């Protein structure tokens, strides 16, 4: 368990994600920081459905073997396998089942993994993402997490996001890692919670988006387990999505961006 003042400095340390978030909440003074409420300590995501739209998922990852996962490929790659490991790492943060003592934030939730990255063609990538969003709505996702983004917006994705919002889904997307003054799509769409990354003490990372439209800053520096860490607005978006799921389960507030 991590209990030091700077718990994510050593990526070899076995992270307790809840401890990281409590530390973040208590040490950050940024008004848009992700907040942890004591009522969340007793929540595990039971009864919630969370969609992760990413690069796929490994079917052999030991930390995910007993998790409730439904996966579908929208890239035409022939399967939900994860060629980059990005989606698998993010899935662990959400539903890891306690192997080696590491638990995801919402281990009792149903995780809907949509493989939407990896088409290699921009217009096909947009269509894959839109299909993934529509699938998440059809599968009655409570929260849709998109740890991804691009410079150019597309009509097909915008329409899918609007459909999700109308259906009552909470939608989060990565604000981006392309500098402080660049906000990516679809995070810049209205009603999407745009998430950027900060260090464990709440200082925004200088290479991540810091535009006024950023709704939430979450931990995003060297987050990981088994000596493998990741940084940036993608991992911050996943953690924020996990906390949002806990808030919805607890009924403490309507959304993590509510005061």
Residues serving a catalytic function are 54, 86, 234
d(CA 122, CA 127): 9
Report how far residue 53's alpha carbon sits from residue 61's, in angstroms, rounded to the nearest whole number. Answer: 18
Per-residue DSSP letter, 205: P
Q: How far apart are CA 101 and CA 147, in angstroms?
A: 25
Closest CA to 174 of 202, 203, 205: 205
128: its two tokens:
């894959």
- 169: tokens are 């889904």
Instruction: Identify any residues that bridge with 196 across adjacent strands, giving them in sequence order.
Output: 217
Structure tokens at 241: 């999505």
Q: For the CA atoms of the chain, what is the radius of gyration?
A: 16
110-115 and 143-146: which strand pairing?
unpaired
Which two structure tokens, joined as six digits, stand for 13?
Answer: 């340390």
Question: Is there a contact between 172 and 191 (Cβ–Cβ < 8 Å)?
Answer: no
**172 bridge partner residues:** 145, 193
Strand-pair partners of 217: 33, 196
Beta strands 223-225 and 228-230 are antiparallel
């Amino acid at each position: 368990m991590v209990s030091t003042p700077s718990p994510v400095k050593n990526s070899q340390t076995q992270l307790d994600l809840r401890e990281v978030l409590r530390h973040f909440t208590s040490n950050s003074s940024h008004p848009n920081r992700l907040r942890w409420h004591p009522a969340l300590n007793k929540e595990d995501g039971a009864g919630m459905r969370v969609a992760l739209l990413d690069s796929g998922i490994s079917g052999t990852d030991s930390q995910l073997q007993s998790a409730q996962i439904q996966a579908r490929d929208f890239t035409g790659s022939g399967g939900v396998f994860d060629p980059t490991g990005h989606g698998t790492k993010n899935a662990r943060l959400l539903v890891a089942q306690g192997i080696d003592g590491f638990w995801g934030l919402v281990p009792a939730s149903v995780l809907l993994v949509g493989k939407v990255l990896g088409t290699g063609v921009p217009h096909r990538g947009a269509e894959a993402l839109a299909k993934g969003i529509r699938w998440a709505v059809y599968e009655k996702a409570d929260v849709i997490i998109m740890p991804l983004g691009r410079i150019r917006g597309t009509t097909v994705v915008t329409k899918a996001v609007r459909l999700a919002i109308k259906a009552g889904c909470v939608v989060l997307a990565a604000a981006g890692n392309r500098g402080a003054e660049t906000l990516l799509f679809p995070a810049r769409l209205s009603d999407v919670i745009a998430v950027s990354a900060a260090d464990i003490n709440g200082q925004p990372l200088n290479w991540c988006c810091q535009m006024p439209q950023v709704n939430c800053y979450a931990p995003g520096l060297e987050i990981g387990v088994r000596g493998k860490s990741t940084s940036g607005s993608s991992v911050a978006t996943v953690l924020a999505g996990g906390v949002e799921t806990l808030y919805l389960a607890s009924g403490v507030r309507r959304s993590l961006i509510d005061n």
